[in-house]
Each structure stands twice: as structure tokens, then as C-alpha cells.
Structure 1
Amino acid sequence: MDTPTPQDTLSVTQLNRLAKQLLEDCFAQVKVSGELSTLSRPSSGHWYFTLKDDRAQIRCAFFRGRNMRVRFQPEVDQQVTVTGKVSLYEGRGDYQLIVDEMQPAGAGALAAAFERLKEELREAGWFDAALKQPLPETINHIAVVTSPTGAAIHDILSVLARRWPAMRVSVLPVLVQGDQAAAQIANALATANRWRDAGHQDFDVILLSRGGGSLEDLWPFNERRVAEAIRASSLPVVSAVGHEVDFSISDFVADVRAATPSAAAELLSPDQHTLLSRLKLLHGRLVAGQTRRLDLMRQRCRELFGRLKDPRSQLREQSQRLDDLEMRLTSQWQQGQRRRFQQLHGLEKQLHLLSPTRQLGQRHRELSALNGRLQTAWQQRHKAASTHLQHLEQQLKSLGPQQTLNRGYAIVLDERGQAIRDSESLTEGQQLEGRFARGRAQLAVTKKQAQ
């Protein structure tokens, strides 16, 4: 209806409709931040809540189809930012906000921080394809870094059980959201590499995963320490964080990005049904190939059999030739035996002549004769030496001082026991010693006289 004048009388419905039209025209798109209160979710799927701050509040309606795109679970007392239009519920005349989008408060700051770190790492070359490690051709053991109670590990194990039950999976449990999550994730990545390098585990690849959520929920996977741990990993890292539309820093730094945890499990495991079909195909080809080969060999055998002559005549000839060779061999062996026997008999005679026992007897006799000659020579030598010694002893006695003393001479010695030969060396009163043929005497010089 047209804009009413003061003279117009309006019904309540008309007034509420005009107010609604006015509000929607003036506030077609607004963004409001506040605290959730009185949140209700009826069976219709719509959400009704109050958004408030410390001074005011406004009723809000978030209809199904719009709220299904929210990737976090809003709770009472949570700070959120909503986008929508201002309207009025005609039935009650309530002023309200029709919400189109909702995200946790501060998500804008997180998004800006995400973009800054993403651009910084991109400029540093951390996203370059040249740094990406290829996945092993054969993967037998996966180290999964995730929450042990989350939906991600359940999806991963379900896919692996269906596709390749023989796959070994080791879960390195971590928190996947909250202040402590990033540190635990980085430590788990380093631990997986350390265990593999030390030989404690035979990991082939690391799968870093969690389910979907808001940017705030996924924030640990956007922190620098997690990116550094992925970059430092010597094991290939597959990142499967959130839903297909979610992207994190770990997705860009990792060697491979999977859209979902289930997609990562399919990427890392062969499909047993496909392999079985391939195996059956190869088995059939092998059987067919072997059958053809056997047919060719049978045909070849038939051809050779036709060309083969009766072997019995050749066998008889060969048998006769064998008998002839046997007799020649026996004759040559006997001649050789006789020749070797004669050689052995000659060597035995030579050995007897050169026998050590015979030679030892001869040497013993020669030694006995030499010993007798040595004894005789020694006795003669000893006797001659004794005679000569006696002669020298008689000469020594005849020439020795004792014979001189026996003839009445004496020897005079000074205090040092030196013989006195010259009286000029004496002094009056000097004490001397005189030696005689028998005995000694103390002498004193009373007077000296030159010759």
C-alpha cells in the first residue's frame, strides 16, 4: 500500500507489513556481532536465538537450508558474527534479524592471519612442487596423526578395511583443536620420523587428518610450528584436514593433499577388488599362454618322434663299444699297477739304504770313536799341562822373595807397606816394618847413611 497519512486508519496487519517493508528496504544486508542466547533448534530444522551484548538484544531466525552450511556447532554464550537482513515477524510484531551466514567471532582475524602465513610460506618456496616427496609405490604401514576418538580415524579405518585389510595402521593420538593441539601435532610428526630412523617402526607415510569444522576449529593445522614439522619430515606427509572445501596451511606444505580423510585412505591403499580382478585377468592370460606353449611343445615332440630312429641298434653298438673300452681300461690299469709296484719296490730299497736308523747307528759308532780319541787327547794334554805347571811352580819358588828371605835377607816396609829401596827416602825416627823368612819386627830409623 502507499505511504499512509496521519488521517489514515491502519489495521495491525497493515502496520506490521509496512514496518517490515521499511526495515527490509533500509537494512537489506547487515553484519552483527554479539553473544548467543536462548538458542533453540525445533524439528523443522530452523534455528531461533537471541543475539545480545551488554546493553541490548535482538531476536534472530536462521532458517534451514542456510544454517546447514555452518561448519561449527554454535553454543549458548558463544561470541558469533552473523550476516543477514533486518525484518519483522508480522504475526507478533517482533523486530528480528533474518540470518544468512554465521561464523565464530574473530574468524575474520583468523582468516587474515591464515592469508598472511600462506603468502609468507608461498614466497619462501614451501609450496613448490620440487620440494614434494613422491609417495612410495608400495605402502604397508601408515602412521596416522589424529584424534583417536574423532570421526576421521573411523572413516580412515572403514575405508582401509574395505579396500585393503592387510594395511598396518599406527595411530599417534593428538588433540586436533585447542591451544595444545599444534604442539602435539608437531611433536607427533617428529616422533614418527624419529621412530622410523631408529628402526623402531617401519612407517612408509604419515597421514595428518581430522574431520571438518570452522576455521577456528581447524586453526592448529594453520600454525607455523605444524608447517615446520611437515617441512622437516623425511617421511612423505599426506594432509587430509576437514571437508573438501576446507584448505589449511598443512594442505599446502604437505607432499600430498587429500580432500577428506576417506579420500586419503583411498589414495594410500590399493583396492583389493580391483587387484583381484586384475589378478584373475592375468591368471587367465597365463593359463592361455601356457596352454598355447604346451600345444606347440606337443607338436614339436610329434615332429621329433617321427624323425627318431630305432635306438636299439645304436644301444647294442654302444654296449659293444663300452665293453671294448672297459677291457682296454682294465688292461691299462693293470699295467699301471705293475709299473707303480716296481717303482714302489725300488723306492723301498732306496729308503732302506737311506734309513735314519742305519745312519744313526753309523753316526753313533763314529761318535764313540771320536769320544775315545777326545778322552785320550784330553788326558795327554792334562798330563803335559800338569808337568809344565809344576816346572813353573819350581821356577817361581826359586825366584820368589821367600827363597831370598830363607838365605838371611829381610824386606823393610814403610807405613804404607811399600818396600824401601833408597835410604834417602827415610827420615830419622821413622817407624818401619821388617819382614824375615819367619816373622816380622817393628824398626825405627836412628841414623841414615848414603852409599
Structure 2
Amino acid sequence: MTRDDRILTPAQLNTLARDLLEGSFPNVLVEGEIGNLARPASGHLYFTLKDARAQVRCALFKPKSQWLNFTPRDGLNVLVRGRLTLYEARGDYQMVLDSMEDAGEGALRRAYDLLLAKLQAEGLFDAQRKRALPAFPRRIAVLTSSSGAVIRDIISVLRRRFPLLDVDLLPVPVQGDTAAAHIRHMLQRADACGRYDVLLLARGGGSLEDLWAFNDETLARTIAACSTPVISAIGHETDFSLSDFAADLRAPTPSAAAELLAPDAAALATRLTGLHRQLHAQQAQVLRQSMQRCDRAFLRLQVLRPQAQLTALAQRAQQLQLRLQSAIARQLEVRAATLRHANAVLRAQHPQQRIDYLRERLLQLQHRPQALIAQRLQQDALHLRGLARSLHAISPLATVARGYSILQHADGRLLHSVEDAQVGDRVQARLRDGQLRLQVLHADPDT
């Protein structure tokens, strides 16, 4: 030993060993037999996994142990998956497990997975090929063991929910090497007979090996080929078989399958009661409407009755007669008034009356012309005297009356100047009281 050698503590050495183990073996699969199984109150599982030559300590903690689908026990051959680590308190290495399954079941599981993938790739489990279940089946066939509790549970649920449903038990073995063949044969017979509305394939829970008959490839194909709807209720809720995938409906448990198959009688009774009330209400409404239509039809019939029509026509005729009489009376009054007016006008324009009127008018007018003529003559005389005075005022005679005379030619032309007369001309001199006939002897114009 030298000064440069590194001195480790046991804890440091354990840490190095743990890191080496976990880094080199992060995830390993080990198959062996369980020994020294311990189940403390914490819920963890501690045991040794051994074979004929060696053993290794294992720990499966509570969260992972709750997912086991079998009960671990000493001597059981299992397949575990986990990582290697070091338990530093004792310096022992151990496996901390992520999963554990029955070694025999593990082989079955791998075969199951391969067959599931194959049939799924073929489209055997496609949803579009699934058949719809009848809403109210009348007769169903249950394919299960006649001695198990499954058939009793199914019948109990069916009798409770819908006692009118006919149930036929078709007993088949549900476990063993020949179970799949028996189930296929019975399934084909039940489907071919045409008596059943639904076929229920049921079995209680168990390990993968116990349920292996329902993972038969031929059985899965037979279920898919059935013309009658098939319900598969195999095992518990967490158990899945190929029959579940091939069937038209998968139920988590046989009792749940019975619940799905049978309608609830109480709910149906409640619904029927409601429908009965609704039907009664609708019938009452239809009856009321029919009665109303009958009443209206009766009223129309009464109106259309011949006697009623005759009565209505008689009343109409009477009304029209009254209206006609009233109209005739009004027309007569109007015509009488018109006639009286025309008669008055005619009398007013009668020739005799016109003659009498004109005679009286003539008598009245006989004296009027003389009076008018006298009045007019008087007016004209006054007017004439006025005109005479006016004319006299401007008349040459007025000048003559003052001592002057008017000289005229024989033809009446006036002599205004000496030059208007020639020597020897005969002229007339108009004086105030007469005329003088004169001859021009000499003309001396003023210079």
C-alpha cells in the first residue's frame, strides 16, 4: 500500500458498486422460482428468485404489486422484469422489479399477443362488422358451465330485470383442452337453429391459462361468422380474450352482460305508465276534437236541413218583400212628388193661363203707350226747345234779327265775300222777316 492509494469507506464502495450494477443492468428479464416470500404490512413483496444453482433477492413495491393478476406463492415459477441495484445496508445486490407474471402465463401471453395482432390485421375485430343487439330480445341462449355460479348470477339478474325473457342454458365446458371445440360446436348449433335473438358466452374469472379456451383462433372466427348477435362476458373486468374482441359486444362480467341484455322491467313499467297517460291524454284530446267537429257538423247539418233552408228562404223572401214594398212606397212618394211638381209647372204654363195673363198684361199695357208717348213728346219738346235755344244762340237768324242779312246764291250757297258774286248774278237777301231777290249791278271790293 502506498500513500497515493485511495482509501474508500464501505458506503463509498457500496455506492460505486450500485452505480456499476445499475449502469450495466438497467433492465433485465429473469425467470425463476419464488422462495422465502414475505408480505409485510407496508404492502411490498420481498422474496428470493432461485433456480437449482443460485438465487437473487427481489423486491416488488406496493404500487407495482397491486397490478398482479395472480397470487404469488412459494414454489411458483415466475418471470420478472427489473433493474439490478445494491441494498447498501447489507451490502447485498438485489432486483427492484417493475413487473412479474406467471412464467407459464408469460408464454401464453406472448402467444395471445401474436394471435391478437394477426386477427386484428385481418379485420376480424373491425367495428363495422359488428351486429346491433335487439332492444327487446325474447329468447337468449347462455353458453357456460351448468355447475358454476355464472349461470345462477345471470338468471338472477335476468329474472330481476325482465322475467318475461326466455333463457336457455346450453352447457359447455369452459376450461380444458377440449373446451374450445365444444364451445364452437354448441355456438354453431345455436346460431343455425334460429331460435335465439342473442347468444351469450360467459365464464367466471381466472388466470390466463384458465381462460385460454376463449383465446382459440377457430373459436374467434366462429363467433365472428355467427349471424346471431354474440355477447362475450369472459372473466373479470380486467380480463380480455379473443372472444371478447370477436363478439358483437364485450361485457366486463357475466352479470353486467345480463344487465345489458335485459331491459329494466321497472323502468319499462314506468315508461309504459307514462306512455299510457300520454296515450290517454292524446285520446281525450282527439275525442274532444272529434266531439267539437261533430258539434260543428251538426250545426252545419241543421243549417243545411231542407226545412231550415226553406225557413231561411221564407224569412229571406219576407225580408225582401218588405224591402220591395218599402222601396215601392218610396218610389211612389218620389213619383207623386214629381208628378205634383210637374202638374204645378204644367198648370203654371197652361195656354189659357198664359192667354189670361197676356190679356191682363195687354190691358195694362194699352194705356201705357199713350202715356209714354205723351211723356216722351213732352221730354222731346223740352229737349227740342233747349236745342232751339242753343241753336238760336248760334244761328245766323239771330244776327239777322239784329239788322243784318244773309246773302245766298239761288242754289243756297252763302256769299262770304264780294268775290263770291259776279255782276249780274241774282242773289237772295234773307232778312228777319223775309227774303229779297236782288241782282248784282256792281261789285266794289275794299282795297
Shorter-chain TM-score: which interval? 0.5 to 0.7
Count of residue pairs the alignment pairs up:
300
Instruction: Name the larger-Rg structure.
Output: 2
The structural deviation recorded for 1:246 is 4.5
Which of 26, 39, 47 is equivalent to 1:41?
39
Candidates 240, 245, 249, aligned match of 1:256: 249
Contact 1:71 1:212 (C-alpha < 8 Å) held by counterparts: no
* Residue aligning to 2:9: 10
Q: Which amino acid aligns with 1:294?
A: L
Specify the alignment match of 1:384 in structure 2: none
1:235 maps to which of 223, 228, 234: 228
The structural deviation recorded for 1:26 is 3.4
Are the structure 2 counterparts of residues 264 and 91 from structure 1 closer, same or farther at C-alpha, using a change threshold of 3 Å?
A: same
Match of 1:278 in 2: 271
Q: Give 2:259's match in structure 1, choosing from 231, 250, 266.
A: 266
Q: Which secondary structure state, in structure 1, belongs to the residue aligned with residue 93 of structure 2?
A: strand
Structure 2 residue ranges without an equivalent (≥5): 308-447
Structure 2 counterpart of 1:97, one-letter code: M
Aligned position for 1:169: 167
Partner of 2:139: 141
Of 59, 63, 71, the residue aligned with 1:65 is 63
Q: Deviation at 1:82?
A: 0.6
- The residue identity in structure 1 corresponding to 2:56 is I
Query: Whole-Å Cα distance in 2 between the matches of residues 86 and 266 of structure 1?
Result: 48
- Alpha-carbon shift at residue 135 of structure 1 (Å): 3.1
The TM-score with structure 2 as length reference comes to 0.55
Task: Give 1:32 deviation, angstroms.
Answer: 0.9
CA contact (8 A) 1:83 1:99 kept: yes
AA of the residue aligned to 1:255: D
Deviation of the 1:66 alpha carbon: 0.7
Report the TM-score when normalising by structure 1: 0.55
Give the direction of change, closer, same or farther, for the CA distance of 1:204–1:305 in structure 2 (3 Å limit): closer
After superposition, residues 29-428 of structure 1 pair within 5 angstroms as 29-107=27-105, 109-118=107-116, 120-121=118-119, 126-127=124-125, 132-147=130-145, 153=151, 156-157=154-155, 159-161=157-159, 163-193=161-191, 196=193, 202-231=195-224, 233-243=226-236, 246-300=239-293
Gaps of 5+ in 1: 315-451
| Alpha-carbon shift at residue 59 of structure 1 (Å) | 2.0
Correspondence for 2:359: none
- Alpha-carbon distance, 1:62 to partner: 1.5
Report if the CA contact (8 A) 2:204-2:235 is conserved.
Answer: yes
1:439 alignment partner in structure 2: none
One-letter amino acid of the structure 1 residue matched with residue 37 of structure 2: L
TM-superposition CA deviations, 1:293-332 (whole Å, max 9, x none)? 33334545655777898xxxx9xxxxxxxxxxxxxxxxxx
Contact 1:104–1:216 (Cα < 8 Å) also in 2: no
Question: Distance between the aligned counterparts of 2:161 and 2:212, measured in 1?
Answer: 31
Q: CA deviation at 1:33?
A: 1.0
**Cα contact 2:79–2:101 (8 A) shared by 1:** yes
Q: Which moved more, 1:46-55 or 1:124-133?
A: 124-133
The one-letter amino acid of 2:260's match is: L
Q: Distance in 1 between matches of 2:140 and 2:5?
A: 77
CA contact (8 A) 1:103 1:214 kept: no
- With over 3 angstroms needed to count, the CA separation of the structure-2 counterparts of 1:63 and 1:147, relative to structure 1, is farther
Q: Tell me how large the CA RMSD over aligned residues is.
A: 3.7
**Identity over aligned pairs, percent:** 52
For the residue of structure 2 that corresponds to 1:69, the secondary structure is coil
